[in-house]
Structure 1
């Protein structure tokens, strides 16, 4: 079975490619390398012993998408990661996010709806819930007005997929991630953002390795135990495995509805300072950080109720916060030859 993975050289995408290949799937990767590197292919091959097909392609170019499907007529299953994903950047560059995250989705669905049967897994986000009123958040929580253009693109994306599935042969699963961290235990692939990291853990590891002077903790006056934001940090390998389970559900026609939605998290919330403390414990070193003003678009707290994914998909996270952070640190040290 041939599976298209868009953004397949990115952080979550590359780990999912590994898990797909380990399960015997034939993978085709599309990536425009805007926030990734072709070097990631070497890591995938080192882990799996298999080389996926890779095409450098910008999904914003509709004719390029059409040409791809003319050449790969047997692709009818897509796991769609390709998107801009930084909350802060989306506030500063909203049009970039709407073009990249919405147009590309539409072009892919236009090709899939021409298939007699098609499967689509969407890389969504807990940002669709906004600041939820109750914790942990389950899939029935209200979808609130987005706090950022990034969050809005995920909400709109889910709506588009739902509308299209109603009138086509596409079956879809929407996976709402919480906060992926860590790297593959082999340290052959991991999170390597281009430029200044937008996510907490790579900023922590880059600071510890000496690449950054200090970590900025955005906000120390939130209504939490230590004043910093709370998130649900999930090991990226656990997250990747959930995509394989979701895909198999669609391929085996086990889905009950044409559109199904699952939260992917650990079910435990950790504050920024707790993550820092966990890093200091596993690395046995102190981290330079300072608390600065809040960042626009950030919410106070978000962590998942994962009962639905556990009961229906039979999926649960396996790794602890410390294990995930330790793997991220191992990856950082390898990348920097330390």
Structure 2
């Protein structure tokens, strides 16, 4: 059986993708520095799948120890999630993001080539698009390069490095450009549980829903949308995990060299107030919120065209935004009960 290396897979998206690979019968190895995740995720993966994945607590910037992982395991494919990912923090600490995300990735790619690992799926982002140029939906050939924050810049730089390595060193590459992942595994044991303050809408909504925060701040109520709040393409994290597995099979089944950039989203947008309404329906309570000033850089509507994923490896989102809200609420309640 082929062995798969997942970097950063004690984090949100990586841990759910780890489940997907294990449940499909693959042996995985996880490398993570636990900067914004917790070792308990491994036990939760075991609780769901019956398998405790092999784990190395290593920072990708530590090339010497990372090389030991390649010496001890023969990998067929790398799925690369590891990286800092908070847009706001990246603006405050740009060099932290450049060093961590880019240097860590370079070490990984160099070792892949040294140990003849030719397949990689990279966790990229919709932040590579110039969201000010043209209207949604975003296609893969939309303008990139005018990134508005260091986080997005690191994703774009890594995509370009992988394109070069594909052209000149024979790497097979699938860059998956995620839109807005939300939700949790239906068991309630695995979900988005950052060590630090949440940067994403739904974890914030849930903190208000369970009373950890008093009120949800909605940034801007005067956007050019039906209800005045921003609209985004929210995708259930288990659909995203499925996209990684389908991309992996696509790499396995191809007889020619591959370099692809592929949008992963639902293809439609949901507003902040619509998320609040769904949360009210799920919890049976009215979520307290107040409209505040816009955040710099936010645009009215962002969503993708995801036809390419359907065409190349028969992937499309199956789970609804409402299901994601339900699953996230179940996870948060479960976590809250554990902490009491």
Partner of 2:310: 310
Deviations 1:241-272 (A, max 9, x none): 11011011112225x65211111101110111
Partner of 2:120: 120
User: Root-mean-square deviation (CA), in Å?
Assistant: 1.5
What is the DSSP-based 3-state SS (H/G/I as helix, E as strand, rest coil) of the residue aligned with 1:30? Answer: strand
Contact 1:97 1:153 in 2 (8 A): yes
Query: Which runs of no fewer than 5 residues in structure 1 stay unpaired?
Result: none
Partner of 1:252: 253
Counterpart CA distance in 2 for 1:44 and 1:220 is: 40
Partner of 1:235: 236
Contact 2:174 2:261 in 1 (8 A): yes
Contact 1:8 1:17 in 2 (8 A): yes
1:55 equivalenced with 2:79 (yes/no)? no
1:196 CA displacement: 1.4
1:77 equivalenced with 2:85 (yes/no)? no
What is the DSSP-based 3-state SS (H/G/I as helix, E as strand, rest coil) of the residue aligned with 2:337? Answer: coil
Query: Which runs of no fewer than 5 residues in structure 2 stay unpaired?
Result: none
Counterpart CA distance in 2 for 1:56 and 1:295 is: 36
What TM-score does the superposition give when structure 1 sets the normalisation length?
A: 0.96
Contact 2:102 2:158 in 1 (8 A): yes
Counterpart CA distance in 2 for 1:79 and 1:149 is: 22
Contact 1:147 1:298 in 2 (8 A): no
1:165-314 aligned within 5 A: 165-253=166-254, 257-314=257-314
Counterpart CA distance in 2 for 1:152 and 1:219 is: 25
Counterpart CA distance in 1 for 2:232 and 2:177 is: 14
Count of matched residue pairs: 336
Partner of 1:11: 12
1:220 CA displacement: 2.1
Partner of 1:38: 39
What is the DSSP-based 3-state SS (H/G/I as helix, E as strand, rest coil) of the residue aligned with 1:79? Answer: strand
Contact 2:264 2:306 in 1 (8 A): yes
Counterpart CA distance in 1 for 2:116 and 2:263 is: 29
1:75-114 aligned within 5 A: 75-114=75-114
Counterpart CA distance in 1 for 2:80 and 2:86 is: 17
What TM-score does the superposition give when structure 2 sets the normalisation length?
A: 0.95
Contact 1:91 1:297 in 2 (8 A): no
